[in-house]
Amino acid sequence: MSVPVIAFFNNKGGVGMTSLAYHLSWMFVDMGYRVVAADLDPQANLSSAFLDDNKMEEIWEDRESSRTIYKCIQPLKDGYGDIKAPILEEIDYQLALIVGDLELSLYEDDLTAQWPDCLDRKPRAFRVISSLWRIIQSGAEQFGAQLVLMDLGPNLGAINRAALISSDWIVIPLAPDLYSIQGLNNLGPTLRRWREEWEERKARNTESALQIPEGRMQPLGYIVLQHTERLDRPVKAYRKWIERIPHTFHTAVLNENYNPEITIVNDDKRLAYIKHFHSMFPMAQEARKPIFHLKPADGAIGSHVYLVQKAEEDFRNLAQIIAERIGLQKID
């Protein structure tokens, strides 16, 4: 049985995908889960959140081992073998990272070329398209993880298609602006098409021993990020965009008929508001900690203490909602 995979994705960048994946990885650990964070963004932003530059340089310069996602793929890409199991970077005894790699972008052409070949029942095509999922599941199995959180880049290319096929659930971060709304209009039909196309291809896999992903990629819901609050309400400049999110999400992403009774207040697909923590993100990055782990020694003093507490509350509530909705069970 595969380990559930949650992808944080929007084809519009700058909406906090990496920050969400990073903070929720730590929060699920705080709640007692064993977690693998998988960095499938060719920019490797999630890896740089967990690891400093010296560590990243050491890993990237190690050409002989499978310490990054690309090094795991390389034997298959170069035609001298199949994928290699990842060497995980242990961040905590309950948290491990599949390290990202800028060279992952070199895999785009292979993933593009092999997609139509699945229709012709070519075994290598299925090995290539399923490679990201098989690496993720290998890492999760060796770590004994109960959950994988996956960070992606903001585009609708072949790497993200293969990555999203590897997911069970998709959480969509949104900023309250025109660009996020348009991003949903692009994303929804694309997800449905990829899901349908993978269903058609799955049945043509002739290698019974090759495990391939189900391709569930179900939208779990959306998170509204980076809004400024005044009297616990989003400021007026953002309100018109926030009020458009439920309609666009339900029609474009879920392919449902318009329901005027669904609002941002009562929409069960709105998983959370996460406030913009402004100066706290650089402080957390400097300390290599999530915001809710910051201490006075890290600079979290005065008004920052409230923000640390607020971040802990927001991310814990969000993690609990996600765990409940995907039926995640803790193992004692």
Task: Classify residue 331: in a domain, yes or no.
Answer: no
Q: Is the pLDDT reported for residue 277 higher than 80?
A: no
Render pLDDT for 60-79 as a digit per residue (tens, 0 to 9). 999 889 999 999 999 999 99
Task: Classify residue 79: in a domain, yes or no.
Answer: yes
Confidence (pLDDT) at 231? 41
Highest mean pLDDT among 10-14, 16-20, 48-52: 48-52
Task: Classify residue 332: in a domain, yes or no.
Answer: no
Residues 10, 308: Cα–Cα separation, whole Å: 26
Confidence (pLDDT) at 15? 64
Give the CA angle between residues 47, 329, 211 to the nearest 5°. 65
Q: Are strands 147-151 and 35-39 parallel, antiparallel or unpaired?
A: parallel
Q: Is the pLDDT reported for residue 25 higher than 80?
A: yes
For residues 226 and 50, the model is more confident at 50
Q: What is the mean pLDDT of residues 106-119?
A: 97
Q: What is the mean pLDDT of residues 304-308?
A: 86
Confidence (pLDDT) at 237? 64
Tell me the C-alpha to C-alpha distance, in Å, between residue 122 and each of 61, 93, 112, 197. 34, 40, 14, 16
Helix (H, G, I), strand (E, B) or coil at 265: coil
Task: Classify residue 111: in a domain, yes or no.
Answer: yes
Q: What range defines the domain where residue 302 resides? A: 5-326
Contact predicate 20/7, CB 8 Å: no
For the chain, give the mean pLDDT: 92
Confidence (pLDDT) at 46? 96
Of the pLDDT bands very low, low, confident and very high (cuts 50, 70, 90), residue 16 is: confident
Confidence (pLDDT) at 199? 97
Contact predicate 181/241, CB 8 Å: yes
Angle, helices 131-143 vs 158-165, to 10°: value is 50
Confidence (pLDDT) at 191? 97
Total count of domains within the chain: 1
Tell me the C-alpha to C-alpha distance, in Å, between residue 254 and each of 88, 241, 272, 309. 35, 19, 18, 34
Q: What is the mean pLDDT of residues 273-286?
A: 79
Confidence (pLDDT) at 228? 53
Q: What is the pTM of this model?
A: 0.94
For residues 151 and 310, the model is more confident at 151
> What is the amino acid identity at position 209?
A
Q: What is the mean pLDDT of residues 5-18?
A: 83
Render pLDDT for 91-100 as a digit per residue (tens, 0 to 9). 999 999 999 9
Task: Classify residue 160: in a domain, yes or no.
Answer: yes
The candidate with the shortest Cα–Cα distance to 279, out of 245, 251, 302, is 302
For residues 21 and 283, the model is more confident at 21
Which residue has tokens 């291809």?
201
Q: Is the pLDDT reported for residue 274 higher than 50?
A: yes
Helix (H, G, I), strand (E, B) or coil at 30: helix
Render pLDDT for 210-256 as a digit per residue (tens, 0 to 9). 999 999 999 999 999 865 554 455 566 678 888 899 999 999 999 99
The candidate with the shortest Cα–Cα distance to 205, out of 165, 241, 170, is 165
Sort 112 into a burial class: Cβ within 10 Å, 0-12 / 13-18 / 19+.
middle
Render pLDDT for 148-175 as a digit per residue (tens, 0 to 9). 999 999 999 999 999 999 999 999 999 8
Q: What is the mean pLDDT of residues 187-196?
A: 96
Q: What is the mean pLDDT of residues 250-268?
A: 94
Task: Classify residue 301: in a domain, yes or no.
Answer: yes
Q: What is the mean pLDDT of residues 43-52?
A: 95
Confidence (pLDDT) at 101? 97
> What is the amino acid identity at position 56?
M
Q: Is the pLDDT reported for residue 326 higher than 50?
A: yes
Task: Classify residue 92: in a domain, yes or no.
Answer: yes
Q: What is the CATH number of the domain that holds 199?
A: 3.40.50.300
Residues 317, 180: Cα–Cα separation, whole Å: 23
Q: What is the mean pLDDT of residues 288-294?
A: 92
